[in-house]
Chain A
Amino acid sequence: MTDKILLAHGSGGRLAHQLVEREFVKALANPLLAKLDDSAVFEIEGRLAFTTDSYTVSPIFFPGGDIGKLAVCGTVNDLAMSGAKPLYLSLAFIIEEGLSQKELSQIVVSIQKAAQEAGVKIITGDTKVVNRGSADRLFINTAGIGIIPEGVDISGSNARPGDKVILSGAIGEHGIAVLSRREGLSFSTDLESDCAPLAKLVMEMLAASPNIHCLRDPTRGGLATTLNELATQSRVGIMIEEEKVPAREEVLAACEMLGLDPLYIANEGKLIAIVSAEDAERVLSAMSRNHYGKEAAIIGEVTTKHPGRVVMKTSLGTTRIVDMLVGDPLPRIC
């Protein structure tokens, strides 16, 4: 038997069933998934959060993770950013024929580990296999459901002047880790993607204060883009200080080399919290006790000035505007 995924594996026949049983059901073991009905059926009470995402990262294996871990963490984090406790995920694979079974297994193991850490169950899924060239090795689509505890009201439009802006840790690690493996740009580094599930961190933050107004994870487009989104949604200005934004030396060095701005590089295990001024220190304390928040810092505040814009006090002491990212950050020579 070949060790590669074939078109037949996606066609619903015997090979497909074997793949699903052996690879997915066994590894992701839970009663709902094992039933293998067309839909997973369950009861839930409460205010629900629902999200969907697709993952197309290339390369599919990168330092610190793979597309599977990314898919679980990304979905869990989207739910957590609404203040929800994530419960169930769906998982759909679009596999390019020719992907090795070994690599697929590795990814499923990653998914299982990430799901376990995040405390979620993957209860329904789908598998398709497409012709060579129709998908870049593997695409994953997910949907996620979570429950929002009573009294929690978190939204991008809730930021108020005077609130503090908290960042949970160093920026740019995911984007640079992935770039370090791209052909034509490779350099050696110990840097790993910061890909991580943040649901527990968020629960601990919510326990510390009822005055968390906004939560968002700065993924594509980086810190700068996400702050701009919040400033626009809430119709407020945001002022941050460059010196207060944590960043690893390796990330800064890689950005220098390639001509990139770390403010625009993707993060997959960080969050921004906008919190009322009185509770900021308490939330920060709670964050620093969690593994994924130990480098958390207050990086700025919300203001009535320049609504909709993000302004930064540079390390030089001067001020400049930080705009949203447009397009992909491309390495440059100039």
Chain B
Amino acid sequence: MKFLTEFRNPELAGRLISQIHRQSQTKARFMEFCGGHTVTVFRYGIRQALPKTLEMVSGPGCPVCVTANADLDKAIALSQISNVIITTFGDMLKVPGSHSSLQEARACGADVRIVYSTIDALKIATENPDRSVVFLGIGFETTAPTVAASILRAREKGIRNYHVLSMHKLCPPSIRAILDSGEVRLEGLICPGHVSTIIGSHPWESVALDYRIPCVIAGFEPLDILQCISMLVAQVEKREARVEIAYRRGVRPEGNTEALRIMEQVFEPRPAQWRGLGEIIGSGLKLKREYEQFDAELAFNIATKPAQEPEGCICGEILRGVKIPLDCALFSKVCTPEHPIGPCMVSSEGSCAAYYTYGGSIDG
């Protein structure tokens, strides 16, 4: 496949790994912030291939993992309204809320459908004019513009039974919250590739400056990750703290201006609850007033009980990079992919799921 297989070239990968081993003298800890990066690192066994000087930590880049119970509970409550069809990305189906999950709600009769795109959700709305379709809006800046576009299309085509429950979040504020907490010592950031496709490299400039930390924007193939690590190591060795785009084929410094325009036309920032990080100002997205007819929070009376966090679950600390799944008393004993307690296990790119699926010790 073009532009995929070339970036998985094993020969080049092997040589890059050797190069990283030669380059890296200083101990350094890098945070890979994006769930997609976590999956690539694990799936290709990259962690094990790196020199002992380098440590990789997973940050809160999995939008499912950081969705607070209160938001999940709202989605589940919506699913139980009799006329409502919930349309959602597959990632959300098994995430446990305070009391239940969408999967369980579906088993009890709720109409919950997995879609690949908001375009499919719009289609379901058009085909079911007497039902209300609610799309669960999760994802960061990569996904928010696509959801904004679907709202514009709904308005243009006069589709009145389409609504969005916006649980979208913004990346730079959360990275800042982690760095501000000072809990975890980091020497480099592997910045999310496709979020940066939308927002460009400029938003990371102030992060590099304020926190004096190298920020390299990486793609998602194994060679992309290795290139990024090599670039971070080079900066660490030279004591630099700059923003660099490794993923040059997918990211322009100015980002995708049309996508940003559309996102800003429909959404505005608001505080958001992040699992494990608490409330972060300006890190969530809400539909603007002129689009409120599409806002599921306003269209429906959603009554939820106060949200509860599961006991013993340390997803929050894992998301902040202060602990690893192996530190959790519940990991693989009580909390497993088939019976997940927290979202880090549910989402296939959550740290706990990645550790469980890929990270077992080969000799153990």
Contacts and interface: CB of A to CB of B under 8 A. Distances in A.
Contact of B43 (A256, A320, A326): A320
A21 B136 CA distance: 50
B128 to A, nearest CB: 12
Contacts of B349: 332, 334
Nearest to A249: B1
Interface in B100-141: 113-116, 120, 124, 138-139
A305 B362 CA distance: 9
B90 A332 contact: yes
Residue with the highest number of chain B CB atoms closer than 10 Å, among A249, A311, A323, A330: A330
Given A317-B13, A326-B337, A333 B139 contact: yes
A183 B64 CA distance: 23
Nearest to A306: B362
Contacts of A326: 336-338
Given A309-B360, A316-B222, A334 B8 contact: no
Interface stretch (B45-53, B180-188, B198-206, B301-309): B45-53
A217 B36 CA distance: 31
A252 B115 CA distance: 20
Given A315-B8, A316-B10, A183 B113 contact: yes
A41 interface: no
Contact of B120 (A184, A306, A309): A184
A316 B44 contact: yes
A317 B87 CA distance: 40
A314 B362 contact: no
A321 interface: yes
A179 B124 CA distance: 17
Interface in A128-174: none
B1 A252 contact: yes
B287 interface: no
B264 interface: no
A321 B348 contact: no
Nearest to A319: B45
A258 to B, nearest CB: 7
Nearest to B61: A334
Contacts of A333: 89-91, 138-139, 143
A309 B48 CA distance: 18
Contact of A319 (B35, B48, B63, B114): B48
A331 B362 contact: no
Contacts of A332: 89-91, 347-349
Contact of B14 (A305, A317, A327, A330): A317
Interface of A: 183-185, 249, 252-253, 256-259, 261, 305-306, 309, 311, 314-321, 323, 326-327, 330-334
23 contacts: A184-B114, A185-B116, A249-B1, A256-B1, A258-B116, A306-B362, A306-B363, A306-B364, A309-B362, A311-B362, A315-B8, A315-B10, A316-B14, A326-B336, A327-B94, A327-B337, A331-B114, A331-B116, A332-B89, A332-B349, A333-B139, A334-B36, A334-B64
